[in-house]
A and B are shown apart, each in its own frame.
Chain A
Amino acid sequence: MKTILMTMAATLLAGTAFAQSITVGAANISDYLDPGRDHSNVGSQFYYNSFDTLIDRDHSKLEPEWVPALATEWKLLDDTTMELKLREGVKFHNGEDMTADDVIFSLNRMYQATFAPYLVRSKDRLSNFAEAVKVDNYTVQIKVERPEPLWETLVSLQQVMIIPEDYTKALSGDPEVAEDGDFEAFSLAPVGTGPYAISEFVPGQKLIYSRFDGFWGEQAPLEQATVIRIPETASRITALKTGEADIVTNIAPDQLDLINADPNLKTEGSATALFHVMIMNVNHPNLTDPKLRQALSLAIDRDLLNDALWLGKAVVPSSHTMEEMGELHMPELTTFEYDPEQARKLLAESSYDGEEIVFDAYPVYYTNGVLAAQAITEMWAEVGIKGRVNVSEQWTGSSPEMMTRSWSNPMYFADPFGSFGVMWAPDAASEGAGRFNTDEEYREIWDRFRFSADLEDRKAAYVELMDRIKQDPPVLPLYRPFESWGMHQGINWKPQPGHIPYVLDFRAGAISLADS
C-alpha cells in the first residue's frame, strides 16, 4: 500500500513538475508588441507564437518550403495580382472570427501606411505592394505595382501578420476609423490568431503566453510560457541553475561551458542569420579612395576573429550571402577575403597618408563588438594603417564625420533583398544615410536583381552587385555571430533553421518537455 501511495505521489509530483509550463529568462523584452512596425531583434523573438501570416513556411527546413497558414490556397491571376482563399473558422484570441475584412485591414495598414512607424517599415520591403482588396468574405486579392518575383516571401513577412480590424479600431477614438492611437494601443494589448494568446504584457518586463484553445492548427504544446526580463547574463545563468528559468536567451560563447558543466543543463545554438559588419563611409574625405577601403577590408583576418572571439563557432562569409536563401545562396563568390599582402600593395597605391582611421563601436549592443573593433585596428596596424577605436552609445552611421563603425545586417527575410537589399539597395538605409552612393549602372543592376522573373537573371545580377561592392567597398560582413540559449535537460527546444533571427518558436513540433 505504502509503495502504491508513494508511486502515486511521485507520479503526481512529476505531473506537476512538467505541467507543460515554462519560464523563459530573456535578456530583453519589447516595450511594445506590434508585428507591423517592429523589425528589431528583441521583438522578433515574440511574434510567431501569437500571430499568423497568410502563407507560412516550414521552419524546420532551411530551404523555403511554403505552407498554407491563414490562406489555404493562392494563385496568380496575372503578373501583378495574387488571389488568396482564406481559411474559414479562424478565430482571434478575443473570440472574433477572422474574415477578409481583417486581412485587408492588416495588409493595407502596411501597404498604404499613414501611421509613421508603419510607413517607415513598409518602404524598405513592401514598396511594390499597392493594395489588398476584398473579393468576398473568404477571398482577397493582393495587387503589386510591378511583377513580383518574391510573392510568397513577402506575403509571409512578420510585418504583414494578421490582426483584428474591429478590435483594433475600437481601441481609441472613433471605433469606425483606424487612427494612430489605435495602433499605439494595440501594441500594448496585442491580439492575433496564433496558438498562444498574450494573456499578460508588461512592456519591457514580462510577457505571458497562454495556450489558445480556439487555434485553427495543431494545439500549442505548452499550457503557458512566461517570459521575464533578466538583463544580466550572470543572473540569467544563475536563474537557470536555481530553476527560476527553464530557458534563458543570449548566452555568449565563453559562458557555454559554465552551463554545460551542470548535468541538469544544456545549451543549444546556431550561427544567427545576421551579419555583424564593418561599414566604411565612402563619402568621408579621408576614405573616398576605393583602394584604401579595399585595404581596410583585406587587412582583416575574420577567421582569426572567429577563432579568438567566437571559439570558431561563428560563420565567416565569402560574400554577402546566407545559406537560408536557397538558390540565391552563392558561397562560390569571393567578394571578401583576407589578403594582407594585397592590402599593403593597395595601401601604397592609395591616397592614404597616415591619417587616423576611427572605428566607432557600441559598448555592449553587439556581443564581442568592442573586442572585435580593437582586434581590427590591430590588424590594420599590421599593414600600416593607423586605427583608433571610439566606443560610444551614439549611432554615428548617419553622420558625415563617421569613418568606419560596427553595424549589423540581419536577414529580415530569406532573400538577398531581405538582407543586403534592405541595407544597400539604391535609396535604402545606407545611401539614405549619406555614406554609400549608387549610380545609374548600380540602379539598373539592382532593378534586374529585384524584379527579374527568371532566377538565373537574378543570380547573374547579384554577382554584378557583389562585384561592385568588391571594387568600391562600403561594407565588410565580419561573421554570423553564434547565438546560444541555455535550458534544462528536460526541454527539447532549439532554434529552427527556417526562421529569421531570435524567434522563440513554441508552436507544436518546435518544443516539447520530457516527461521523466
Chain B
Amino acid sequence: MTLYVLRTLAKMALTLLTIITLVFFAARLSGSPLDTFLGDGLTEEDRALMIEYFGLERSVWHQYIAYLRGILDGNFGLSFMERRPVAEIVAERIGPSLQLLGSAIALTLAVSVPLGVVAALWRDSWVGSAVMALAFTGYAVPNFVIATFMVLIFAFVLNWLPVVGNGTALHFIMPTIAMSGVLIAALTRFTRNAMLDVLGQDFMRTARAKGLPETVVILKHGLRNAGVTVLSVLGLQIAGMAAAGNVVIEAIFSWPGIGELLVSAAIIRDYPVLQFGVIAVAFAVVTINALTDIAYVIADPRIRMAKG
C-alpha cells in the first residue's frame, strides 16, 4: 500500500512539472501582455519600457529557469496587473470555486445514485425508461443552456432567486443545479449500469438465498459493489469540471471563482496569474485523481492486491 501511494505521488509530481512547463511556454506563445489592449497607444519605446517593467526582457529560457527556482522557494511571482503575489490572488478565488464544486458534488450524489438504482431495478418498466430518457437529455444539454434558462425563469421573470455572486445560500441554488446537470446525467447512467452488472452476480443470488431482506441485498451487497465504478467515474467527472466546467457558470452568475480569474488572465496575458491558476487547478485535478485511485483501493481490496 505504501509503495502504491508513493508511486501515485511520484506520478503526480511528474504530471505537475509537465503542466508547469506547458503552461509557461504556451502562455508566451499566445502573445505578450502588450499584444492585447494594454498595448493600445504605446510606442515601441514605451513597449520596451513596459516589457522591462514586467521582467520579460530576458530570454524565455532564462525566465523559465527563474520561474522554476521561484517555485522551489514557494514564490510564484507577481500579477502583471495587480502587482501582488499570485498565490494571494488565487487563494481568494479558489474558495468560492471549491464551495460551488462541493455543493454540485453533494447534489449529484444525492440525486443520481438513487435514480441510478431505481433505473436499474425497474429497467423493464416505464420508470426506468423515464429516468434514462431524462439522463440522456441532461447529458445532451450544455450547462450554460440550463443556467441561462434558469436565470430567465427564476430571476428575470419570477424574481425568486438572485443571480449575482455567492453571498447567501440562495445564491448557490442556480449555479449548483447548472453545474450538476451533466454530472447527474452521467452518474445516473453509470450507477444504473454498475447496478445492472452487480445484480446479475452470484453473490447477489447467494445473499437473497440466505433470506436477507431485499433492501439489505440491494443497498449492502449491490450498491457497495457498484459504488467502486461510480466512485471512479465521479472522480473523473469532477476533475474535468474543476478544470473547465466552472468557467461559463462563474461568468453567468458573476461567481468570484477561479474560472473567471483564469479567463481574464488569459485575455490580458497576465502570465503569472494564468500560470499559477492553471497549476493550482492541475494540482486539484491530480490530487482528486490520486485520491480517487486510493479510495478505489480502499473500497475494493482486490485492486490493492492487483496493484501491489
Contacts and interface: CB of A to CB of B under 8 A. Distances in A.
Given A234-B151, A238-B155, A394-B31, A31 B43 contact: no
Nearest to B47: A398
Interface stretch (A67-75, A377-385, A421-429, A489-497): A421-429
A53 interface: no
B72 to A, nearest CB: 24
Given A32-B83, A422-B41, A239 B163 contact: yes
Contacts of B164: 25, 228, 230, 235, 239, 244-245
B48 to A, nearest CB: 10
B156 A241 contact: yes
Contacts of A231: 251, 254, 260
Nearest to A41: B37
B40 A238 contact: no
B255 to A, nearest CB: 10
Nearest to B256: A205
A32 B163 contact: no
B interface residue count range (under 10 / 10 to 19 / 20 to 34 / 35 or more): 35 or more
A39 B39 CA distance: 12
A181 to B, nearest CB: 8
B150 to A, nearest CB: 11
B163 A432 contact: no
A31 B264 CA distance: 10
Contacts of B45: 432
A202 B88 CA distance: 12
Interface in A184-198: 184-185, 187-188
Interface string A397-420: 110000000011000000000000
B11 interface: no
Nearest to A180: B53
B39 A398 contact: yes
A428 B43 contact: yes
A116 B50 contact: yes
A393 interface: yes
Interface residues of A, number: 51
Interface string B24-66: 0000000100111101111111110110110000000000000
B41 A124 contact: yes
B159 A242 contact: yes
A31 B92 contact: no
Interface in B213-253: 251-253
Given A117-B50, A394-B36, A429 B155 contact: no
Contacts of A432: 42-46
B163 A188 contact: no
A260 B163 CA distance: 20
A188 B42 contact: no
Contacts of A238: 151-152, 155-156, 163
Contacts of B81: 31-32, 203-204
A123 interface: yes
Given A117-B53, A394-B36, A432-B46, A230 B83 contact: no
B267 interface: yes
A395 B36 contact: yes
A244 B163 contact: yes
A200 interface: no
Contacts of B79: 31
B82 interface: yes
A395 B49 contact: no
Contacts of A124: 41
Contacts of B35: 394-395
Contacts of A204: 81-82, 261, 264
Nearest to B93: A205
A126 interface: no
A365 B37 contact: yes
B147 to A, nearest CB: 10
B151 A423 contact: no
Contacts of B52: 116
A460 interface: no
20 contacts: A25-B164, A31-B82, A116-B53, A117-B50, A188-B82, A228-B254, A232-B251, A235-B252, A235-B254, A239-B163, A239-B164, A242-B159, A243-B159, A394-B36, A398-B44, A398-B47, A428-B43, A429-B42, A429-B43, A432-B45
Interface of B: 31, 34-37, 39-47, 49-50, 52-53, 79, 81-84, 89, 92, 148, 151-152, 155-156, 159, 161-165, 251-254, 256, 260-261, 264, 267
Q: Which 9 A-B pairs have the closest CB atoms?
A: A432-B43, A31-B81, A184-B83, A116-B53, A429-B41, A120-B46, A395-B39, A230-B254, A116-B49
